[in-house]
Structure 1
Amino acid sequence: MTEVPSPQLRISDQNRESALSALGEHMTAGRIDIDEYGERSARITAAKTRGELGEIFADLPAPHPRYEDVPQAVAAPEPVKEAQPVPQRPNSPDNWSPPQRFLAGIVPLAFIAAIALIATHMVAWPIIFVPLGLAAIGKSMWGRDWNHDQHHRDRRDRHLRDRERRRELRDSYRDHRRGLDH
């Protein structure tokens, strides 16, 4: 059971960002046009309370802004579930073989040692090929992901796609506004 917060409760920047994201989805779906998006996004930016934000989305279906800070009413505790084992990703460092672990640990050390030796003029610059060769061996034996975290790359790719989508929406809005001004 959740407690319905007062519409007079003030909102945070995170709530405004959530509202702008939801509004962008409505524009992408064709529920509102670019002019209405501009008007409503200006109202979202100026909104101070949940009530003001709610009025902006009153005539739109989900998605609506998310409020992660909604207070929860006290309810009966849920029964304790047994912990489920977390499935391991196949390329996770937890699943690496001893040779993979060794190589993943030695490559950064080899780079540091090579740079130190070159900086102190103890060895000529070609020593840098030793760690590069170790990295190439690791890649050839275990593939591209032998020393990378797939989850991190997925998150970064998702972030870049979202950023590009926001830029396209912004540019589309600006182009449309320029067309109205002329």
Structure 2
Amino acid sequence: MTEVPSPQLRISDQNRESALSALGEHMSAGRIDIDEYGERSARITAAKTRGELVELFADLPAPHPRYEDAPQAVTAPEPAPTAQPVPRRPGTPDSWSGGQRFVAAFVPLVWIAVIALIATGVVHGTLILVPIGLSIFGRSMWGHAGHSHHDHRDRRERHLRDRDRRRELRDSFRDHRRGLDR
């Protein structure tokens, strides 16, 4: 038989973060507007018990805040995993050949030198074709191995995390500003 926790149980910061995340999803879905989000998020931040959070989500469908389960019996920690060598991905600097390393160091220097010479009028502008050609040659040495779908996924995940953080900061600023206006 599962015992339902009392609404008077104190909540943790993790519970509050879960509630704020769930509330953000409701705002994104259009169930609440930004003003209501601000009001409810302020109440979530001030909440002390589960009952206070439950009350804030009573008129909303899932998702609701998650609560950690009852404390589990303490078990012995698992042994730390042994360090596995990280496989070298193709296209990363530590897997480059000597020629690739040379081109990677040489091409930026050629770009700088050619731009400086063209800017000072020492040589004609068509010299810009030299670093362009070297760049194309260097790219052909690497191919597309350095731009795997994993890199794209990592960039997308980082972008989503950054976007969520910016939204949190924006909402926090708006809440703070509302508090000063009162």
TM-score (norm 1): 0.53
Matches within 5 A, 1:34-113: 34-36=30-32, 41-47=37-43, 48-51=45-48, 54-55=53-54, 56-57=56-57, 64=65, 79-113=79-113
Question: 1:128 and 1:50 mapped to 2: Cα distance?
Answer: 64
Q: In structure 2, what is the Cα distance between the partners aligned to 1:99 and 1:152?
A: 24
Retained in 1: the 8 A contact 2:115–2:128?
A: yes
Residue 49 of structure 1: CA displacement?
2.9
d(CA) in 1 for partners of 2:106 and 2:124? Answer: 21
Structure 1 segments unaligned to the other structure (5+ residues): 67-73, 168-182
Which residues of 2 match residues 1-182 of structure 1 at below 5 A?
Answer: 7=11, 19-25=19-25, 34-36=30-32, 41-47=37-43, 48-51=45-48, 54-55=53-54, 56-57=56-57, 64=65, 79-144=79-144, 153-158=152-157, 159=159
How big is each residue's C-alpha offset from its partner over 1:43-86, in whole Å with a ceiling of 9 and x where there is no partner? 344233353883435776567479xxxxxxx9966534321222
Q: 2:3 aligns to what?
A: none
> Structure 1 residue 132: deviation in Å?
0.9
In 2 relative to 1, CA 62–81 (structure 1 residues): closer, same or farther, beyond 3 Å? Answer: farther
- Going from structure 1 to structure 2, the CA distance change for 1:142 and 1:22 (only over 3 Å counts) comes to same
Consecutive unaligned residues in structure 2, runs of 5 or more:
1-8, 68-73, 168-182
**Inter-partner Cα distance in structure 2 for 1:108 and 1:141:** 16
User: What is the distance in 2 between the residues matched to 1:84 and 1:57?
Assistant: 45
Provide the TM-score with structure 2 as the length reference. Answer: 0.53
Q: Distance in 2 between matches of 1:50 and 1:128?
A: 64
Contact 1:20 1:41 in 2 (8 A): no
Give the total of aligned pairs.
144
CA distance in 2, matches of 1:43, 1:131: 57
Q: Structure 1 pair 38/121, CA: closer, same or farther in 2 (3 Å)? A: closer
Task: Please report how far the alpha carbon of residue 107 of structure 1 lies from its aligned counterpart in structure 2 after TM superposition.
Answer: 1.4
Cα separation, 2, equivalents of 1:6 and 1:106: 62
Counterpart contact for 2:27–2:34, Cα < 8 Å = no
8 Å CA contact retained: 1:23, 1:37: no
Q: CA deviation at 1:20?
A: 4.8
| Structure 1 residue identity aligned to 2:111 | F
User: Which residue matches 2:180?
Assistant: none
The one-letter amino acid of 1:51's match is K
Computed over aligned residues only, the root mean square deviation of the Cα atoms, in angstroms, reads 4.4
Amino acid at match of 1:113: A
Matched-pair identity in %? 45
- Which of the pair has more CA radius of gyration? 2
